Structure 1
Amino acid sequence: MRAHRHRPQDHRLTGVAAPMLLNAAFLVDRHRADQFRRAVDELAGVRAPDAIALTGPWPPPYSFAALEQQRPRSRNRGWLRRRRRWSTCSTN
C-alpha cells in the first residue's frame, strides 16, 4: 500500500465545521480494498461522527500519477511523459 498526504481542505469545501487534521489518499491493491474499507470503518466506529470519511475508489490516476519532463530525443522539445498508477481507495 502507498499513501499520499494532501493539504487539509477548508471547511467551506468539506461542509464540516471542525478543522480537517489529515487529508490522505491510499493506493490499495484491488484484492485488499474490502479489508482496507473494513479497517477504516472499524476506526471510524470509535471516533466522533464525521471524524473519518472514506471516499472512493477514485478513477486513476487521481493521487498517484506524475508528469515528468524528459530530455528530447528529437526535435520535439519539451514533451511530457505521464506515469500512471491505479488508485482504488482515497480518504479525506
Structure 2
Amino acid sequence: MSSSVVERIEEEARKLIEDARRRAREIIEDAERRAREILEDKSYLEELEREKQRLLKEAEERAREILNEAYGRAEEIRRMARAKLDPLADELAREVAGI
C-alpha cells in the first residue's frame, strides 16, 4: 500500500517534470520560429538578430523557471509522501515488534 502511494507520487513528479520539459521545448521552438520569420526580412538583420537572442534568452529563462517549479513540486510531493509514510512505517514496525 505505501509503495503504491510512493509510486503514484513519483509518477506525478515525473509527469510534472515531463510537462515542464515539453513546455520549455515549446517555448524555445516558438522563439526560434519567430526568430526565423523575422530574419527573413534581411533589411533589419542586425535588429532582428538582437530580438532573436532576446527571445531565445527569454525562452531559456522561462524554461528554467518551469523546470525549477517542477523540481520544487516534485520535492514537495516527496516530502509529503515521507510525512505520510513515516508514521505508517513506525506503526507497522510496532505491530511487527508486538509493541
The reply to whether TM is greater than 0.5 is no
The structure with the greater share of residues assigned to helix is 2
Q: Give me the TM-score of the superposition, normalised by structure 2.
A: 0.27
Larger Rg: 2
